[in-house]
Amino acid sequence: MNELIKIRDVSTKYDISARTLRYYEDMGLITSTRSDDYAYRLYDEVAVKRLEQILILRKLNISIKDIQRIFNTSGSEIVLEVLGKKVDDIDEEVSLLHELKEIVLEFIYQIEQADFAKESDVKLLYEKAKEIETQLVNVDYDGNPSNVNRLLAVAEKVERQPDILIVEMPPCRMVTSGYLNVESDDAHRRFDSMWGRLGSRIADKINPRDFMYHDAEQNKLVWLFMLEDCMTETDTEGFEIIPFDGGLFATALADSWEFSEYERVYKGILAWLSQQEHLELDESTYRHLLYHFAGPHSTQMREWNYGKIRYFVPIKTREGK
Domain of residue 286, CATH code: 3.20.80.10
Looking at the structure, tell me whether residues 221 and 253 fall in a common domain: yes
Half-sphere CA count of 155, side-chain side, radius 13 A? 20
Looking at the structure, tell me whether residues 178 and 301 fall in a common domain: yes
| 114 falls within a domain | yes
Within 10 Å of residue 221's Cβ, how many Cβ atoms? Answer: 21
Contacts of 11 (CB under 8 A, 6+ apart): 17, 18, 21
41: domain CATH number is 1.10.1660.10
| 235 falls within a domain | yes
Write out the H or E segment, with its range, that includes residue 244.
strand 240-244
What distance lies between CA 8 and its chain's CA centroid?
21
| 209 falls within a domain | yes
Alpha carbons 67 and 64: distance in angstroms, whole number = 5
**Do 248 and 167 contact (CB within 8 A), yes or no?**
yes
Alpha carbons 189 and 282: distance in angstroms, whole number = 31
Torsion angle, CA of 39/179/176/162, rounded to 10 degrees?
Answer: -100
| 192 falls within a domain | yes
Looking at the structure, tell me whether residues 14 and 147 fall in a common domain: no
Domain region containing 142? 77-157
Direct distance between the N- and C-terminal alpha carbons of the chain, in angstroms, rounded to an integer: 64
Provide the number of structural domains found in the chain.
3
Task: Return the SS3 of 166.
Answer: strand
Looking at the structure, tell me whether residues 204 and 229 fall in a common domain: yes
**Do 103 and 135 contact (CB within 8 A), yes or no?**
yes
Looking at the structure, tell me whether residues 169 and 273 fall in a common domain: yes
| 70 falls within a domain | no
Q: Which of the listed residues 122, 157, 192 is the one where a domain comes to its end?
A: 157
| 72 falls within a domain | no
Q: Which of the listed residues 157, 182, 215 is the one where a domain comes to its end?
A: 157
Looking at the structure, tell me whether residues 266 and 309 fall in a common domain: yes
Looking at the structure, tell me whether residues 191 and 301 fall in a common domain: yes
Q: Which of the listed residues 95, 125, 157 is the one where a domain comes to its end?
A: 157
- Global confidence as pTM: 0.54
| 290 falls within a domain | yes
Alpha carbons 74 and 76: distance in angstroms, whole number = 7
Residue 140's pLDDT is 42
Output phi, psi for 221, to 5 deg: -100, 150
Residues in the chain: 321
From first to last of its 321 residues, the chain has per-residue pLDDT tens of 468 888 888 888 888 877 788 888 888 899 988 766 666 788 999 999 999 999 988 888 888 888 989 998 888 889 899 989 888 888 877 877 777 677 777 777 777 776 667 777 667 766 766 665 555 444 344 443 334 444 444 445 555 667 899 988 889 999 998 887 655 567 777 888 888 888 888 877 667 788 888 776 777 778 888 898 889 888 998 899 999 888 899 988 887 767 677 778 888 888 888 878 888 988 776 555 666 554 444 555 555 555 567 888 889 988 755
Looking at the structure, tell me whether residues 181 and 268 fall in a common domain: yes
| 55 falls within a domain | yes
Looking at the structure, tell me whether residues 44 and 145 fall in a common domain: no
Looking at the structure, tell me whether residues 304 and 190 fall in a common domain: yes
Contacts of 33 (CB under 8 A, 6+ apart): 4, 41, 42, 43, 44
Looking at the structure, tell me whether residues 179 and 147 fall in a common domain: no
Looking at the structure, tell me whether residues 261 and 189 fall in a common domain: yes
Half-sphere CA count of 110, side-chain side, radius 13 A? 16
